[in-house]
Amino acid sequence: MINISAGIDIGGTNTSIGLVDTTGQILIKENIATPTHGNIKIYIDKIHSTINDLLIKCQLSVDNLLGIGIGAPNANYYTGCIEEAPNLSFKGIVPLVELLKEKFPTKETIILTNDANAAAMGEMIFGGAKGMQNFVMVTLGTGVGSGLIVNGQLVYGHDGFAGECGHTVLVPNGRMCGCGINGHLETYCSATGIKRTAFELLAYYNAFESILANYSYSELSSKIIYEAATDNDFIALKVFEKTGQWLGKSLADTVHHLSPEAIILFGGPMAAGDLIIKPTKESMEQFLLPVFKNKVEIFCSKLPAGDAATLGASALVINELNT
């Protein structure tokens, strides 16, 4: 019998649902809308029917399903709830795992965690961290997320919310963070942080000659900055250099906590490849204690960007059954 797991990635706009075999092949995948006017019951019905449809399309049944893994913002592994997610229309505490268990009463293994943790698990089970017992996943998106693996296990902390490395202080009294505190890593090294850096540098250099000088703050994106960098735009190149310097400095602090074997970076800005990875490595090494120097690998996620969330969510199931 073919064993598969369902991987669900809940985003602000779309929910992706895929069926994944135990080797990490996605058999089938479909997107449904994440409701904008949160009726959770209808949404759960839709997830339920979509999984059943996908199973039928693959000539499989619920018997083939090992379990369901879900990556979502503000998700709590311990409680199985999404808690006060600012970017979802479901307010308060949503007992997602409980609601799905009602739909799949024969399935013991229904697991919820936040997106960065799911990404870390995907990397450990199917990606570049296979066989690693201690590594750190950092996701650079609208914010900076992180998933920490220690002794082969995700670090959830006592309440399920560990891994908020994006909200460690990088520059005391620095840029205002969405959380209200100044100078967090995420204000410098998220996709948004990269844009902020571009604007600061345009102002600093009074850089009329940069292609980036033609964009408004609303228009500019890290993708535009990356494209400018590949055209050797001075400001754009400088943006990635500075981003890497900041990121590396912050990663050194994380290494001093956890001494991971590797740090894996994921997200849109990683399209810039060595433009960001090289200064990140150099900066991290500069701030490491001798005992950690030249030991910690830094590389981009080895999972295809479009499939990483699905693979990560389904990896939660594989991991749970393996332990």
- E strands of the chain, at which residues? 4-10, 14-21, 26-33, 65-71, 75-76, 81-83, 93-94, 110-113, 135-140, 144-150, 153-154, 262-266, 297-300
Question: Residue from 33, 42, 62, 179 that binds a copy of itself (CB under 8 A)?
Answer: 179
Q: Which of residues 270-309 bind a copy of itself (CB under 8 A)?
A: 287, 289-292, 295
Q: Which of residues 148-167 bind a copy of itself (CB under 8 A)?
A: 148, 150-151, 153, 155-165, 167
Beta pairing class for 262-266 and 297-300 = parallel
Question: Residue from 22, 52, 142, 259 that binds a copy of itself (CB under 8 A)?
Answer: 259
Q: Is 204 exposed, middle or buried (0-12, 13-18, 19+ CB in 10 A)?
A: exposed
Stretch that binds a copy of itself, among 59-67, 88-96, 122-130, 146-154 (CB under 8 A): 146-154
Q: Between 3 and 182, name the residue whose CB sits nearer to a copy of itself.
A: 182
Map residues 42-81 to x or -, x wherever contact with a copy of itself holds by CB under 8 A. ----------------------------------------
**Packing angle of the helix pair 234-258, 222-230 (nearest 10 deg):** 120
Q: Confirm or reject binding of residue 181 to a copy of itself (CB under 8 A).
A: yes
Q: Which residue in the block uniquely carries the two structure tokens 């393996």?
A: 322
- From CA 137, how far away is CA 147, in angstroms rounded? 5
Q: Confirm or reject binding of residue 249 to a copy of itself (CB under 8 A).
A: yes
Q: Is 92 exposed, middle or buried (0-12, 13-18, 19+ CB in 10 A)?
A: exposed
Stretch that binds a copy of itself, among 50-58, 59-67, 89-97, 255-263 (CB under 8 A): 255-263
**Residue environment code for 207-238, b if the CB has 16+ CB neighbours within 10 A, otherwise e:** beebbbeebeeeebbbebbbebbeeebbbbbb
- In eight-state DSSP terms, residue 34 is P
Q: Which of residues 74-113 bind a copy of itself (CB under 8 A)?
A: 83
Provide, rounded to whole angstroms, the least separation between the CB of residue 250 and a copy of itself: 9
CA-CA-CA-CA dihedral for 5, 305, 162, 126, to nearest 10: 50
Q: Confirm or reject binding of residue 322 to a copy of itself (CB under 8 A).
A: no
Q: Which residues pair with 148 in a beta bridge?
A: 136
Q: Confirm or reject binding of residue 252 to a copy of itself (CB under 8 A).
A: yes
Provide, rounded to whole angstroms, the least separation between the CB of residue 76 and a copy of itself: 10
Neighbours of 159 (CB within 10 A): 10
Q: Between 2 and 289, name the residue whose CB sits nearer to a copy of itself.
A: 289
Q: Confirm or reject binding of residue 244 to a copy of itself (CB under 8 A).
A: no
Provide, rounded to whole angstroms, the least separation between the CB of residue 254 and a copy of itself: 7
Q: Confirm or reject binding of residue 234 to a copy of itself (CB under 8 A).
A: no
Q: Please give the residue ranges that form the binding site for a copy of itself (CB under 8 A).
A: 83, 132-135, 148, 150-151, 153, 155-165, 167-169, 171-172, 179, 181, 249, 252-254, 256-261, 287, 289-292, 295
